[in-house]
Amino acid sequence: MALTRSSSLDRVSLFIARLNDEKFNSVRCRLREWYQEASAKTGTGRTQLEVNSCFAPLFKWVLSLFPSECQCLSLALDATNVKQRFTVLTINVLYRGCAIPVAWKALTGNQKGSWKPHWQQLLSGLAGVGTSKMKVIICADRGLYADWLYEEIVELGWHPFLRINHQGSFRYQNQSTWLPLASLVPRPGKSWSGQIQCFKTSPIDCTILGRWDSGYTDPMLIVTDLLPSEADSLWYGLRSCIECGYRDIKSDGMQWHKTRLTDPRRAERHWLAMAVSSLWIVTIGGEIDRGTTDDFFEKLSPHQSAQKCPPQSKPTRRLSCFLKGLLTLLADLLNGKPIGMGRLLPEPWPFKPALLSTNTC
């Protein structure tokens, strides 16, 4: 998958057949049976891969690649579609502008029913896997917010970092009057953080982190169980890595949006191969990324035009870690260098001072 930049059964089978001097059909049958269920295979005593059993070991493997002193980890919950064929619910480790899938559930596209039991199963399957000494935040966009999701994450010992709409209501602690959430951050240039009770229906006691930067049409409101002094609303910006991760699985890397699979169970097994491939590529690219982003602009001479850009508009990454990993892998192979796993070297979490007009409760 890495070298062909494709998850196509035919393309990967042909590459392996040519590489190992095997017959194309033999390789293709072997790979196809890997993601088939037992009943679809010929012969007796056949088995099938239970993907759910792989999530905790995969997550543990990802954690083992971080430095031992790493104390912070960000995960994201999201869903991606392949036309009308599949909806895939995913939990991803966010890393240097990339997203590494560690748990997922494939559903038939437009399938009716609640996602709640699927999210609960995915989250509980990762609970207690080597994160007891880490601050773990779970990011999710407004469309996924639910009071049960907030409570589920807290019960697992992690910290929800869920964006909500600003149309709801809240009340200050020890007060009875409900106020509109929009009044917390009423206009651009305002920020607010504090502990409140949020929502009249299914209320939760939580911290709200609010911020409205200029140029945005709506404020950003984040609910979390962390104290206001322990969190920054800009951490939610890490969630944007999920979109890059889907691009790596699809157009930039594995071309999964072109899949001809129709069975969700087979799609879930296919995702395991893509997740492991993505992890490998990102570990290689992350080590290259570490040496090319943080100090890129400092190395430019003063007369170069890029140096004249205002600091907030300077790009920090020209190519994703995923693409850097792919190119590095190919270059190493062409140069006869040994290849192997890299490490995961996280960036500092984003932080900005509060906006000039700030209230804290």
Mean pLDDT by 10 residues, the chain (361 residues): 94 96 96 92 88 96 94 95 92 95 94 93 92 92 95 95 93 90 91 93 94 90 94 92 92 91 94 96 92 48 41 63 94 92 88 54 52
CB atoms within 10 A of CB 19: 10
Decide if 303 is inside a domain.
Answer: no
Residues 258 and 360 in one domain: yes
- Answer yes or no: do 177 and 56 share one domain: yes
Residue 296 lies in a domain: no
User: Which parts of 196-263 fold into alpha helices (H)?
Assistant: 241-249
| Residue 3 within any structural domain of the chain | no
Q: Does 266 fall in a domain?
A: yes
Domain containing residue 275: CATH number: 3.90.350
Rounded to whole angstroms, how far apart are CA atoms 6 and 251?
9
My answer on whether 113 and 219 are in the same domain is: yes
Looking at the structure, tell me whether residues 19 and 116 fall in a common domain. no
Task: Say yes or no: 14 and 140 in one domain.
Answer: no
Residue 70 lies in a domain: yes
Whether residue 186 sits in one domain with residue 38: no
The domain of 33 spans: 8-44
pLDDT value at residue 357: 45
Looking at the structure, tell me whether residues 20 and 129 fall in a common domain. Answer: no
Same domain, residue pair 22 and 129: no
Q: Kindly state the DSSP code that residue 45 receives in the 8-state scheme.
A: S
- The answer as to whether 304 is a domain residue is no
> Does one domain contain both 169 and 24?
no
Kindly report each contact of residues 146-152 with a partner whose C-beta sits within 8 Å and lies 24 or more positions away, as own/partner: 146/116, 147/199, 147/202, 147/204, 148/116, 149/77, 149/116, 149/119, 150/204, 150/206, 150/223, 150/225, 151/204, 152/119, 152/120, 152/123
| 300 lies in some domain | no
Q: In a 3-state reduction of DSSP, which class is residue 327?
A: helix
Establish if 82 belongs to a structural domain: yes
Same-domain pairing of 30 and 105: no
Same domain as 112, residue 31: no
My answer on whether 104 and 199 are in the same domain is yes
What is the C-alpha separation between 109 and 167, in angstroms, rounded? 30
- The tally of domains found in the chain comes to 2
Q: Provide the CB-side half-sphere exposure for 260 (13 A, CA).
A: 4
